[in-house]
Structure 1
Amino acid sequence: MDFALSEEQELIVATVRQFVEREIYPHEAEVERLGRVPPELAAEIRAKVIEMGFWACNFPAEVGGAGLSHLDFTLVERELGRGSMALTHFFGRPQNILMACEGEQRERYLFPAVRGEKMDALAMTEPGAGSDIRSMATTAVRQGGDWVINGTKHFISGADTADFFIVFVATGVDDTPKGPKKRITCFLVDRGTPGFTVREGYRSVSHRGYHNCILEFDDCRLPDSQILGEVDGGFAVMNEWLYATRLTVAAFCVGRARRVFDHALSWAAERRQFGQPIGRFQGVGFQIADMITEIDAADWLTLSAAWRLDRGLPANREIASAKLYASEMLARVTDATVQIHGGMGLMDDLPIERFWRDARVERIWDGTSEIQRHIISRELLRPLGA
Structure 2
Amino acid sequence: MDFSVTEEQKLIIETALRFVEEELYPYEEEVERTDAITPELVEQIKQKSIELGLYAAGMPEDCGGGGLDTLTMCMLDRALGRANMALNYTVYRPSNVLQACVGEQREKYLLPACRGEKVDCFAMTEPGAGSDVRGMKTFAKRDGSDFIINGTKHFISHADWADFVILMAATGEEDSARGKRKKITTFLVDKGTPGFTLRPGYKNVSHRGYHNFILDFEDCRIPESQVLGEVDKGFDVANDWLGATRLQVASLCLGRCDRALEHSLDWAANREQFGQKIAKFQGVSFKLADMKMRLKAAELLTYEAAWKYDNNCMEDMDAAIAKLNATEALAFIADEAIQIHGGMGVMSELPLERIWRDARIERIWEGTSEIQRHIISRALLRPLGA
**TM > 0.5 between the two?**
yes
Q: Is the counterpart of residue 4 in structure 1 residue 4 in structure 2?
A: yes
The range that moved more, 146-155 or 236-245, is 236-245
Q: Is the counterpart of residue 238 in structure 1 residue 244 in structure 2?
A: no
Superposed counterparts of 1:65-104, under 5 Å = 65-104=65-104
For 1:2 and 1:178, the matched residues in 2 are separated by 43
Q: CA deviation at 1:177?
A: 3.5
- In the other structure, the counterpart of 2:310 is 310
Q: Is the 8 A contact 2:185 2:233 kept in 1?
A: yes
Secondary structure, aligned partner of 1:242: helix
Report the residue type matching 2:69 in the other structure: S
Report the residue type matching 1:343 in the other structure: G
For 2:242 and 2:349, the matched residues in 1 are separated by 38
Q: Give unpaired runs (5+ residues) of structure 1.
A: none
Q: Which runs of 4+ in 1 moved over 6 A?
A: none
Secondary structure, aligned partner of 1:244: helix
Q: Is the 8 A contact 1:328 1:363 kept in 2?
A: yes
Report the residue type matching 1:166 in the other structure: I
For 1:58 and 1:203, the matched residues in 2 are separated by 31
For 1:84 and 1:163, the matched residues in 2 are separated by 23
Q: CA deviation at 1:162?
A: 0.3
- In the other structure, the counterpart of 2:110 is 110
- In the other structure, the counterpart of 1:167 is 167
Superposed counterparts of 1:1-386, under 5 Å = 1-386=1-386
For 1:53 and 1:342, the matched residues in 2 are separated by 40
For 1:203 and 1:294, the matched residues in 2 are separated by 31
For 1:99 and 1:137, the matched residues in 2 are separated by 26
Secondary structure, aligned partner of 1:327: helix
For 2:151 and 2:279, the matched residues in 1 are separated by 55
For 1:154 and 1:25, the matched residues in 2 are separated by 30
TM-score norm. by structure 1 comes to 0.98
Report the residue type matching 1:251 in the other structure: S
Report the residue type matching 2:308 in the other structure: R
Q: Is the 8 A contact 2:305 2:314 kept in 1?
A: no
For 2:342 and 2:201, the matched residues in 1 are separated by 34
Q: CA deviation at 1:385?
A: 1.7
Secondary structure, aligned partner of 1:162: coil
For 1:2 and 1:119, the matched residues in 2 are separated by 35
Q: Name the count of aligned residue pairs.
A: 386
Indicate the percent of aligned positions where both proteins have the same amino acid: 59
Q: Is the 8 A contact 1:141 1:147 kept in 2?
A: yes
Q: CA deviation at 1:381?
A: 1.3
Secondary structure, aligned partner of 1:342: helix
For 2:247 and 2:281, the matched residues in 1 are separated by 36
TM-score norm. by structure 2 comes to 0.98
Q: Is the 8 A contact 1:124 1:167 kept in 2?
A: yes
Q: CA deviation at 1:175?
A: 3.1
Q: Is the 8 A contact 2:197 2:216 kept in 1?
A: yes
Q: Give unpaired runs (5+ residues) of structure 2.
A: none
Q: CA deviation at 1:283?
A: 0.6
Secondary structure, aligned partner of 1:256: helix
Alpha-carbon RMSD across the aligned residues, in angstroms, is 1.0
Q: CA deviation at 1:112?
A: 0.3
